[in-house]
A = this chain, B = another copy of it.
Amino acid sequence: MQISELGEFGLIDRLTEGLKPSNASTLQGVGDDCAVLAYEGAGRRVLVTSDMLMEGIHFDLVYTPLKHLGYKAAMVNFSDVYAMNGTPRQLLVSVAVGSRFQVEHLDELYAGLRLACERHGVDLVGGDTCSSVTGLALSLTCIGDAEASEVVMRSGAQENDLICVSGNLGAAYMGLQLMEREKRVFESRPATDVEAAQPDFSGHEYLIERLLKPEARRDIVSQLRAAGLRPTAMMDISDGLSSELLHICKASHCGCRIYEERIPLDYQTAVCAEEFNMNVTTCALNGGEDYELLFTLPLSQHEQAARLEDVKIIGAITRPDLGSVLVTRDGQEFPLKAQGFKAF
């Protein structure tokens, strides 16, 4: 169905049909000039974050199903709220689509958005829908909350704090390399070669999943809370471990020392890096899109930190004049660099 058959308001009605708020703070969702929220409890803090995803920069529709794109776009935003030690509550979604898009495409995108919202208890409360002369543009804003005393900034890391990372790093980046390789194979095949049109990801399924369907680490935030641990600093790893660690060091006026051998890697990431003749540590440090949590804990909580599931201690915070250093397997030291992922 063409979007013009429904019109803007018909489209919004269809995409937001049956949405029911699940949070007490959501008083009015889609359907007015603004969503209306109640965050009136004393000592509560409201957390807000926005992320934009552009076709051709952040995603390639050749290998990104729209449902996955919607799911991932939501996760990217939830991840920022968890990274403040908060709970995501509301989501606003703005979408600009080109003329090649049909209503069914948007249904798919919203199916992914809704699934992500359901799983994390978030209410879709508004946004904007418009045309684009070219590609698909997505912009999401997530609102969450936390007790004032629970909010964790980037700026609270202290000397001797342990540096911890959840999950493993570099997998989404290797997934991206695989997708790009299969795309090149697909595009250069003879039109009659049906077999070459079937991508081969066997043995790499985990990497593809990490790229297309990342999960915001609510479980880590819950685990920390259950263990009575409050990180001194925290952020999510979207641009690569190096870049994020440097953000924490800058905001907290400190240095850091991390150990290559302790950086968590999945077996598939290591195998795939070798296949591509890449240094797996470089992929883990600069790959980006991991959406894992990076946080610091006081040295005195070492025992509890070591017991956290799916969390690794990779180093420690140091005095600022010692710089930000990676210690390699053979004992050499290198300064960390922020290559970043979203290069202009």
Contacts and interface: CB of A to CB of B under 8 A. Distances in A.
B27 A344 contact: no
Nearest to A97: B344
Nearest to A6: B344
Interface stretch (A62-70, A83-91, A268-276, A296-304): A83-91
A56 interface: yes
A57 B8 contact: no
Contacts of A125: 48
Interface residues of A, number: 74
Given A58-B130, A154-B32, A7 B46 contact: no
Contacts of A55: 133
Interface string A24-36: 0001100111111
A3 B344 contact: yes
A39 interface: yes
Number of copies: 2
A39 B40 contact: yes
A281 interface: no
- Of A38, A43, A48, which is in contact with the most chain B CB atoms at under 10 Å from its CB? A48
Interface stretch (A138-146, A177-185, A313-321): A138-146
- Of A54, A56, A154, A155, which is in contact with the most chain B CB atoms at under 10 Å from its CB? A54
Contacts of A57: 96, 130-133
- Of A3, A28, A92, A141, which is in contact with the most chain B CB atoms at under 10 Å from its CB? A141
A4 B343 CA distance: 8
17 contacts: A11-B344, A33-B83, A34-B80, A34-B86, A34-B144, A36-B46, A40-B42, A46-B143, A48-B90, A49-B126, A52-B128, A52-B130, A54-B96, A54-B130, A57-B131, A58-B130, A137-B137
Given A7-B343, A34-B48, 5 more contacts: A32-B154, A36-B45, A39-B40, A56-B134, A57-B133
Interface of A: 3-4, 7-9, 11, 27-28, 31-52, 54-58, 80-81, 83-84, 86, 90, 92-96, 125-128, 130-135, 137, 139, 141, 143-144, 148, 151, 153-155, 235-236, 251, 338, 340, 342-344
